[in-house]
Structure 1
Amino acid sequence: MTGEQQDWDIVSGVGITALSVAAARAVDTSRADGLIRDPFAAAFVEAASPPRPIPTRADDIPADDHTWGPLSRLLALRSKFFDDYFFSATAAGLRQVVILAAGLDCRAFRLDWPSGTTVYEIDQPRVLEFKDQVLAGLGARPASARRLVPVDLRDDWVTALRGAGFDSARPTAWLAEGLLPYLPDEAITRLIDAIHELSGPGSTVGIEHFDNAQAVFDDPKVAEGADDRGIDTGALFAGGSKKSPDEYLSSLGWRTTTESIFELSDRYERPLGGVESQLFGGRYITGTLGR
């Protein structure tokens, strides 16, 4: 579908969602009690010059805001959970990492990777190009071997990943963070099938999933926040997914665990602010393929 696909840039479509997630990481980084430290996140927002302002510091969020504050805390919890997931994977000896729809994720730079680790980042060419331009301007150096795979996940990303040096004979730590809400059920099945086929025994996977993704983006609070930032949720998330990835992974022989955002909030002792929203309906799944 190369001729039909849209190649999003950083201030439209999927690009602006990646920018908003980076801004949320910047907000948490600015907090004294922040869960994560991403010294690059704010620079992405500044370099992009989005058409509508996006806060990058907690002090920039208005006192009467009911979306961006809770959203930034939710995304910080999510980031911390998957940071810890990678720490556990590398502690178990895995040295090959694949981040699907990597966006402006800077884990290759900001996490302490063991020697010999290679991180593959898959995403739209223009998003990765923007990302590298900003990081180069900051003089950032990755803490691991880092290989970019500029390809649309709707195309033959498996061949592109192999072409970048990926070795399916080695156990791999996979991450699908903030990706599944974009995908209909059949695409989720294909994605998990591809991960399974490329994974040797001992591989792990981390996934964020919403049982009813469409309900998230129909939520008035979410829609209001998206409108404020020029995000067309109807175009990006049409359809949504009802497939349960943990059940499907289990059927393929993966051992899975699942936690809610509220369980993460309790674990990390970071309250979500008491705001009710469909955004808090996410499930955070990890799986290991038996040896």
Structure 2
Amino acid sequence: MQQENPTLTMIREFVALGRAEFERPRSPSGDGHGQRKLTEGMTAAGPDGEPVKMSEPLLQLLAPRAPYFDLLVEGALESGVTQIVNVGAGYDDRALRFRSPDVHFYEIDLPHVIADKKRRLDASGLDTRGITLIEADLATDGAGDLLAAAGHDRRERSLFLLEHIVLFLENSAVDCLARSLAGRAAPGSTLALTAEAHPQGLDSAQVLATTDQVMFGGTSPLRTILSRDTWLAVLKNAGWTVLDPGHVTAVDHFQVPLDGSAAQIQTQFLTATA
């Protein structure tokens, strides 16, 4: 297996550790302590091997994401959705936190991440009923086919969560993923994702290359940063209808120098229906 970019590993673990610091809702039968149990012994070490400190500025970058997706899960459960698909789930605890009768959670991630999460779940003694872990390399594997093999029912509504995952996939893989999930989406299903968006009129390839050099010294794990209009087109072409496309819900993520000025890159929150 190809060695994973150490920065990507650090980001995944930092997000999991950071999420455990927030007060978050849970379902009546959910486990509010699952995130801490899942991350026991985790350090989120940087490329230099030193643990990344949980500073307030870094936590503030994560703060808007958890409520956005948590509220969507709560709303889906209240409306009777019985399938939650978490793509690029990492060490996310929502399958534990929002455990509910007759609701099944499907979690998709890289084989080594799934293996480690399974080990952590087994060691913790947490109740994993209603959870299916699916190994996948989204650069090559079709998420829809894997879901079908895992028992996902395309006739029933689903909530598909893509939190901080498409940023790390090539454009072509993002297109394939959006189409593949649309193929598993019954009418009334919802897709929710975070997308890194640059200002309109900039060249996406230049934005990505500059980000790589300025922020990561040529070792960036980032693969897709697009304009909002392009993101909307990607979803539309895949068969999704974005809710209220004229309204932007976003947080400023970082800036990169381009053509003598600072280009603001945002994390935008997009919700679409089948």
Helix, strand or coil: the match of 1:15? helix
Check 1:23–1:55 CA distance in 2 against 1; reply closer, same or farther (3 A cut): farther
Helix, strand or coil: the match of 2:85? strand
2:140 aligns with: 155
1:182 aligns with 2:168: yes
1:286 aligns with 2:271: yes
2:2 aligns with: 6
Check 1:13–1:176 CA distance in 2 against 1; reply closer, same or farther (3 A cut): same
Shift of 1:72: 1.2
CA displacement 1:153-184 (0-9 Å, x = unmatched):
12323322211111222221101110111123
- Find the aligned partners of 1:45 and 1:159 in 2 and give their Cα distance: 30
- Find the aligned partners of 1:171 and 1:155 in 2 and give their Cα distance: 26
TM-score when normalising by structure 1: 0.72
Amino acid at match of 1:148: L
1:137 aligns with: 123
Residue in structure 1 matching 2:86, options 78, 99, 103? 99
Amino acid at match of 2:17: A
- Find the aligned partners of 1:98 and 1:208 in 2 and give their Cα distance: 15
Shift of 1:52: 1.4
Alignment of 1:239-250 (within 5 A): 240-242=225-227, 244-250=230-236
Helix, strand or coil: the match of 1:53? coil
Shift of 1:24: 1.4
Cα pair 1:98 1:175 within 8 Å, conserved: yes
1:54 aligns with 2:39: no
Q: Could you list the runs of 5+ residues in structure 2 that have no partner in the other structure?
A: 27-31, 199-203, 256-263
Q: Which has the higher helix share?
A: 1
Task: Give the number of equivalent residue pairs.
Answer: 245
1:89 aligns with 2:76: yes
Structure 1 residue runs of 4 or more that deviate by more than 4 Å after TM superposition: 35-38, 42-46, 213-217
Cα pair 1:36 1:76 within 8 Å, conserved: no
- Find the aligned partners of 2:241 and 2:253 in 1 and give their Cα distance: 33
Cα pair 1:217 1:237 within 8 Å, conserved: no
Shift of 1:138: 2.1
Shift of 1:89: 1.7
Residue in structure 2 matching 1:204, options 164, 174, 190? 190
1:267 aligns with: none
1:22 aligns with 2:16: yes
Check 1:91–1:164 CA distance in 2 against 1; reply closer, same or farther (3 A cut): same
Q: Percent identity?
A: 24
Check 1:253–1:103 CA distance in 2 against 1; reply closer, same or farther (3 A cut): closer
Let me know the Cα RMSD of the aligned residues.
3.2
Shift of 1:93: 1.8
Shift of 1:238: 4.5
CA displacement 1:90-109 (0-9 Å, x = unmatched):
22221111111111111001
- Find the aligned partners of 2:184 and 2:102 in 1 and give their Cα distance: 20
- Find the aligned partners of 1:150 and 1:233 in 2 and give their Cα distance: 28
- Find the aligned partners of 1:199 and 1:233 in 2 and give their Cα distance: 38
2:261 aligns with: none
Cα pair 1:27 1:55 within 8 Å, conserved: no
- Find the aligned partners of 1:253 and 1:140 in 2 and give their Cα distance: 35
- Find the aligned partners of 1:147 and 1:261 in 2 and give their Cα distance: 31
2:107 aligns with: 121
Shift of 1:78: 0.3
Shift of 1:201: 0.5
Which deviates more, 184-193 or 196-205?
184-193
Check 1:138–1:204 CA distance in 2 against 1; reply closer, same or farther (3 A cut): same
2:258 aligns with: none
Q: Which has the higher strand share?
A: 2
Q: Could you list the runs of 5+ residues in structure 1 that have no partner in the other structure?
A: 29-33, 62-68, 263-274
